[in-house]
Amino acid sequence: MALEGEYLGIQLFLGDEDPEIREFFEWCGRHELRLQRWKSNGLLSYPPGTASPWDGTPEFEWSPVAARGTVMSYSEVHHAILPTFREHLPYLLLRVELDQQRGQPTEHEAIRFLGNLVAPDGTLAPPDLLKQVGIGSRVKVVYVDVGEGFAIPQWTLDEDADPATPWRYDDGQTR
């Protein structure tokens, strides 16, 4: 069954022609983070695809993932392209490296999610919260419900982690 939803005024639609993407978001809808585990090599991959990015074989199962990681890069957006995001400026684009499978199968590989920094309730983070986050920040997943059985993963500060002092960009304008 197709998934339909709405997020920040954006219509979301996932049809049956892209089953891997639809199933990923169905798991998110159950507030579970699952990724494809490829039978040929036992590795997980992101984003969902039609075959293992390491060997092209198509057999996989949806495997639970520990939804914690570290911000390995970010951008702070001040100029929105879509009008709906203008109301939320500035917002952070986070590149979150999961702890699980970090440095596998080779040194520089990892599962690296794209997402926004959100408050614990899933709303896009306010300016004072943005300033606390940078490279090295520990984050955990938050599911934002966008439709019936349909959620998108976002990221919030992991309060259980030791507070790290993150690396933040500074050009003199940022403070």
Partner 1 sequence: MAELRSDTDTSSPKFLRDKYAIIGVGETAYTRRSGRTTKHMAVEAVRNAMNDAGLGPADIDGMMSYSAMDSTMSPAVGADLGIRLDFYMDVVGGGSSIEALVGLAMGAIEAGMCKTVVLFRSMNGATGMRMGGTGRGAPRFSGGQMFSGVYGLSSPAQMFSHSFMRHMHDFGTTPEQVAHVKVFHSQAASNNPKAYYSHRVTSDDVLSSRVIAYPLHLLDCCVETDNATALVVTSAERARDTRHTPARILSVVGRCNKPRMDDHYQHGPITRVAGYYAKDILWPNAGLGPEDIDVTGSYDAFTFTTLLQLEDYGFCEKGEGGHYVSDGTIALGGRRPNNTAGGHLCEGYTHGINMVVENVRQLRHDADDFCPTGPDGRRQHTYDYSEGACRQIRDVEVTANLGWGMPSLGSALVMRRG
3 state SS of 127: helix
Minimum Å gap between C-beta 95 and partner 1 is 5
Q: Residue 97 has which token pair?
A: 């490296």
Minimum Å gap between C-beta 132 and partner 1 is 15
Element (H, E) at 20: helix 19-29
Q: How far apart are CA 102 and CA 142, in angstroms?
A: 21
Nearer to partner 1, 65 or 111 (CB): 111
Nearer to partner 1, 79 or 159 (CB): 79
Nearer to partner 1, 110 or 157 (CB): 110
Site residues (vs partner 1, CB under 8 A)? 7, 9-15, 18, 21, 25, 45-47, 49, 53, 72-85, 88, 91, 93, 95, 108-112, 114-116, 135, 152, 167, 169-174
Minimum Å gap between C-beta 155 and partner 1 is 10
Instruction: Write the DSSP string, 118-142.
Output: B-TTSSBPPHHHHTT--BT-EEEEE
Nearer to partner 1, 80 or 119 (CB): 80
Minimum Å gap between C-beta 39 and partner 1 is 19
Q: Residue 12 has which token pair?
A: 């979301």
Nearer to partner 1, 7 or 62 (CB): 7
> Cα 141 from chain centroid?
7
Q: Residue 116 has which token pair?
A: 């926004």
Minimum Å gap between C-beta 93 and partner 1 is 6
Residue in the block written with tokens 């090599």: 41
Task: Kindly tell me the sign of the dihedral angle through the C-alpha atoms of 109, 114, 117, 121.
Answer: negative
